[in-house]
Structure 1
Amino acid sequence: MTRAPLVFITGASSGIGQALAARYHAAGYRLALAARRGAEVTAWAQSQGIAAEEFAVYAADVRDVASITGAGRDCIASQGVPDVVIANAGISVGIDTAVLDDLEVMRATYETNNLGMAATFQPFVRAMCERGSGRLVGIASVAGIRGLPGHGAYCSSKAAVISYCESLRGECRPHGVKVVTIAPGYIDTPLTRHNRYGMPFLMAPERFAHKAFDAIAAGASFRTIPWQMGVVSKLLRMLPNALFDAVLAGRPRKRRLGE
């Protein structure tokens, strides 16, 4: 009997990751769910009525290379090579470069959003390329298009995600493996609910997951969700620096750690 396809998702304990897990389950996928709070993910899966044989949970921290790469190897050993791997785990905290302690916030952001993404993909790249199929999905952000005041760590980390996935896409293309970059706009998750500025085109995570599922299935190289934020981000990219700076003058800054 042919086994159902398998998706591996990091940051599956809440927000976008959890919504993606629900969407893939609805589509008939087996789930490999990685998160620091493994017990919470298990409880969620059971509350959704997902049968024990249809999911596995891997307690792992993407900032710990040994932890997350080990989870990937465990997934391959117990469930097989996934059809889709979604590096979704990420953090978003404001920083002030004038504050020494905020450099540690920047370190944590890069370790989570960038090194953590590469470490998530690492166990699967060779196996997918040898098989000749698969999807590696990096969750970026429209915040990676231009830098926002007080948001230097997050914006630069997501800009790096876009470039990294673009590089990886070129490496994997000859082997039949597609690399998909998804750039969410404002999604209603715990990461955004404490923002102190307007969030145009705010989208529910469930709706985002439906759109992302379609983009991943289509093998899109890059997709902004919702599309309206894609238009906004392109317009911002086109603005001369002086005009861009004027538009953002006085905009509230991202909350720093502890604020």
Structure 2
Amino acid sequence: MNAPAPLVFITGASSGIGQALAARFYEAGYRLALVARRTAEIEAWAAERRLDAARYRIYSADVAQTDSIVAAGTACIEGQGLPDVVIANAGISVGIDTVAREDIDVMARTFATNNVGLMATFHPFVAAMRQRGSGRLVGIASVAAIRGLPGHGAYCASKAGVVAYCESLRGELHGSGVKVVTICPGYIDTPLTRGNRYGMPFLMQAEDFAQQALQTIEAGRSYRVIPWQMGVIAKLMRLLPNALFDRAVQGRGRKKRSGEA
């Protein structure tokens, strides 16, 4: 009896990077476990692409609600088996202003999704992957993790947290056969970035990003910035003395706050 095709579990699969990753992994022969709050959008996308119904399942979950995403992971194991790859991709990006009381709540929602939600996404799979001796746990961070940008405090801090958390988890799973992969996208052309009010150097198509991400994940690399040019820029930004960095970002457009047109 032939072994089943490998399985990838992807959160935030209804649009943007998550959808592009789903398409690329499907093309590579994987079975899909697709997770999002907006399941109707995944269903419409799968129908439009005429995906083989035997090769994918859709799970409704909100990663910001721990029990919701843990239940989706458990249902995946029961219905499709233990994934080979888990991609914690779901995330939100909203501008904040510390002067505004309501933006404290925005900060809390951002961390609930981008950080607590990432851990909750991995939770159902870690012990079983370690027992099996193989697997890939993939955290989608951002080049915004490298330095804090004005008006982007919630997003930058949350993505820096993704990098640090995945590094910690990588150490915990060292020698187990389970790889932890951190991917930091630069500017990718998705609905999340199209409303940005600032320049986006080296803007990359989501399909091209997904191809490079697939290669990175299958190779089990621990960390990668995509595209590589943004990795160079990020390293240079990290090396800038604070005074020069602060001067460089003055006047830069800020991320839209919640409810801002």
Q: TM-score, normalised by structure 1?
A: 0.99
Query: Identity of counterpart residues, as a percentage?
Result: 68
Tell whether 2:244 aligns with 1:243.
yes
Deviations 1:64-120 (A, max 9, x none): 100000000000000000000000000000000000000111011000000000000
Match of 2:70 in 1: 69
Residue 70 of structure 1 aligns to a residue whose secondary structure is helix
Tell me the distance in 1 between the aligned counterparts of 2:125 and 2:194: 33
Deviations 1:187-223 (A, max 9, x none): 0111110000000000000000001000001111000
Tell me the distance in 2 between the aligned counterparts of 1:97 and 1:190: 25
| Gap runs ≥5 in structure 1 | none
* 1:58-97 equivalences in 2 (<5 Å): 58-97=59-98
Match of 2:100 in 1: 99
* 1:1-259 equivalences in 2 (<5 Å): 1-259=2-260
Letter paired with 2:167: E
Letter paired with 2:152: H
| Gap runs ≥5 in structure 2 | none
Residue 254 of structure 1 aligns to a residue whose secondary structure is coil
Tell me the distance in 1 between the aligned counterparts of 2:50 and 2:219: 28
Shift of 1:253: 1.2
Deviations 1:104-145 (A, max 9, x none): 110110000000000000000001000000000000000000
Tell me the distance in 2 between the aligned counterparts of 1:199 and 1:25: 29
Count of paired positions: 259
For the aligned residues, what is the CA RMSD? 0.5
Deviations 1:20-59 (A, max 9, x none): 0000000000000000011211221121111111000000
Letter paired with 1:5: P
Shift of 1:172: 1.2
Tell me the distance in 2 between the aligned counterparts of 1:219 and 1:52: 29
Residue 236 of structure 2 aligns to a residue whose secondary structure is helix
Residue 188 of structure 2 aligns to a residue whose secondary structure is coil
Tell me the distance in 2 between the aligned counterparts of 1:252 and 1:21: 32
